[in-house]
Amino acid sequence: MKSDQPYVARYADLPGDIQDKAKHLCWGYSQTDPVAKVERYAILRTLLGTVDETVFIGTNFSCDYGFNIHFNGFSFINNNCTILDSSPVNIGANVFLAPGVCLTCTGHALIAEQRRNGIITSAPITLAADVWLGANVVVRGGVTIGQGSIIGAGSIVTHDIPAGVVAVGNPCKVLRKVTEADRLAL
């Protein structure tokens, strides 16, 4: 599960006790007063693989295991985000996830018999520094999104996205590059 390589497994062979612990910690995090920063950070430190006090995670956050989620500096994870981390999820510095984002390393077998028998797939996800995912974006396992890219709301990302672009849709496709013309005037 900690490997950067995709894999196939039986759901029953995955560590259920660790998943139960993660569910309990996510529940506790969502029940903690949003302004109780010390308590909330203590829960995140116990739950996540790599995190520091510059990471903000909103309410109703859920994950499968937690130990496979690695933040590499400041990130802002808005409310109702889900990370299914049966493989490593690496989140670069200055990443913004809007409400309802789902990062799912886990997939299911395409053959119905295998699905019934609990056969799953898993592959890592990497969000490079300065990535912004709009509301309700879904990122599938095996995807890397390049530095500074923006994924439009409601998109489903099924393949790698290069650095410095705006990408949208289902399946998500590059729309254009981010340019100086995008700079906001203050």
**How far is the C-alpha of 80 from the C-alpha of 73, rounded, in Å?**
21
- What number of other Cβ atoms are within 10 A of residue 85's Cβ? 27
Give the phi and the psi of residue 107 in degrees, each rounded to 5: -135, 175
Catalytic residue among 24, 70, 108, 159: 108
**How far is the C-alpha of 29 from the C-alpha of 186, rounded, in Å?**
36
Contacts with 97 (C-beta within 8 Å, 6 or more apart), sequence order: 75, 76, 77, 78, 81, 133, 137
Q: Is 70 a catalytic residue?
A: no
Cα radius of gyration rounded to whole Å, the chain: 17
**How far is the C-alpha of 71 from the C-alpha of 90, rounded, in Å?**
6
Q: Return the structure tokens found at 120.
A: 């799953």
User: What is the set of active-site residues?
Assistant: 108
